[in-house]
Structure 1
């Protein structure tokens, strides 16, 4: 029997990390995503982190499922090729904040992702995701590589001795000090470039240009409170239109208006507790680009390809 594919652990499962997760999963690697208990990705329709909130989610035919932390090792050891000896009604129970999420039949919900049949036999048909913001599972599972794709613009605890190969995306890391390889995340000529010495470009604080708009397209919470979504991802809006409300602890309300005409591409979920200044929404001014709300972006796919290049260049193959 062919040995299992190498395990790659990805810290983070937001929209950019999801491009990485999709790429390495499709190519046949075993993969595990680690997230916080309350992910704040606004591009929820293209972020596997939604599995933490919903129990499971699917992006471009690839499914992610929330797995209880103490069940991860068992799930990762269960290959599709062994499914005949397991019950089709086997359930994975993930308990998060007292809520049970049941995912039934770990080997029967395989989605066609375009991966070669040979590689599919060596990894799960879905991407498991666990709540483990500090990366405790990394030491337990001993992966072939760790990818920090949190995109926090700072180092959230990733270090060189986590795995034989540590890859980090974006600013906050120095190649040779925090990670073996750093990958540039700034849009432009050097996007997805592998950096073996030094760091990625520093965070400018200015969103990338999309449809001729930059800072205006990203909306931050004007105050703290509970978010009530009025217009959600995929809906067209006009400048000045109320797209959300923030309910304060005293019952008062702050309206949040669209900053420009366009399509809502990102929005925190209804009921999310925001703090003042938190990125809460993203508007794409290109009214003809609705499908972009539901597919992995060019930037995320570029970063996925860069991570694959880094893995293969170090002899880590599916």
Structure 2
């Protein structure tokens, strides 16, 4: 491990956070992922948060394991593994010797991140101001500036509309038609046709708006409010993309790695 003294706390274990974890783990940083007790991730096959639900998960060369305590998480991180700890608040890990904190929760707003929480605090996407809330912000919007490091100011504002992929935008996102429990008839990686019933929420059916591949589905049995994002449909016919880290996630991860290396270089 190249940077054993630079422990990273990664808040969030969704698909974009997993791209960050991939870059940092490959580069030799020990890291601990913090998640909710009931993760609401959609791209479960490429999200480290899935370890909370299943106990562990293998994503490409990454293997993550759910742990119960901060001390166990530290032990695993120092051995080169990726622990996932349920810790919505930072209180349970403040005694750990971390130097880098990354807010990768993608809340599109600052929930509780402060610039004084670590030697280097990095945040992903809109809702943060570099130099005020954190030291650096990473651009997360698709386009020319994706993955760029912002040392002063903010990322592009949230448009509320997903980026266009294969000619599809907002319709790529499957949302809960009602409040209640999610039940699926199909699974991630399945190919669907326009109008095909994918599942239901509290008896209200969810139909595919176009033909494509189910890239993500929230965990079956999840209790969700109406309107919540619960699925991701991809018009591209590449089933393998459902099970590998996306170009967007890796670009963002590259930006995080750049910010960390700049910080460490300035300390020399």
Q: TM-score range by the shorter chain?
A: over 0.9
Distance change >3 Å, CA 140–CA 233, structure 1 → 2: same
- C-alpha distance in 2, partners of 1:190/1:75? 34
Displacement of 1:61? 2.2
- Equivalent residue number for residue 294 of structure 1: 243
The 2-side partners of 1:234 and 1:30 are apart by 31
Normalising by structure 2, we get a TM-score of 0.95
SS in 2 for 1:291: helix
Distance 1:259 1:313, change over 3 A: same
1:7-38, Cα deviation, whole Å (9 max, x unpaired): 00000000000000111111111100001111
Please give the alpha-carbon distance, in whole angstroms, between the structure 2 residues aligned to 1:130 and 1:210: 33
Change (3 A) 1:29 1:213: same
Give the Cα separation in 2 of the matches to 1:193 and 1:138: 29
Give the CA RMSD over aligned residues. Answer: 1.6
How far 1:193 moved relative to its partner? 0.9
Q: What TM-score do the two structures reach when normalised by structure 1?
A: 0.80
Alignment match of 1:222 (pick from 177, 199, 216): 177
Which structure 2 residue ranges, 5 or more long, are not aligned? none
For the pair shown, the structure with the greater C-alpha radius of gyration is 1
3-state DSSP class of the match of 1:130? strand
Q: Distance in 2 between matches of 1:312 and 1:34?
A: 22
Question: 1:110-157 CA deviation, whole Å, 9 max, x = no partner?
Answer: xxxxxxxxxxxxx42320010011122442214111011111101121
Partner of 1:38: 38
**Large movers: runs of 4+ above 4 Å:** none
Q: Give the match for residue 273 of structure 1.
A: 223
User: Residues 254-269 of structure 1: matches in 2 within 5 Å?
Assistant: 254-269=204-219
1:236 aligns with 2:234: no
Q: Secondary structure of the equivalent of 2:194? A: coil
SS in 2 for 1:191: coil
Residue equivalent to 1:193? 148
Give the CA deviation at 1:186: 0.5
In structure 2, do the counterparts of structure 1 residues 254 and 78 end up closer, same or farther at CA, with 3 Å as the change threshold? closer
Q: How far apart in 1 are the matches of 2:76 and 2:54?
A: 23
Unaligned regions of 5+ residues in structure 1, if any? 80-122, 248-252
Residues 76, 235 of structure 1: alpha-carbon distance in 2 compared, 3 angstrom cutoff: same
Contact 1:12 1:149 in 2 (8 A): yes
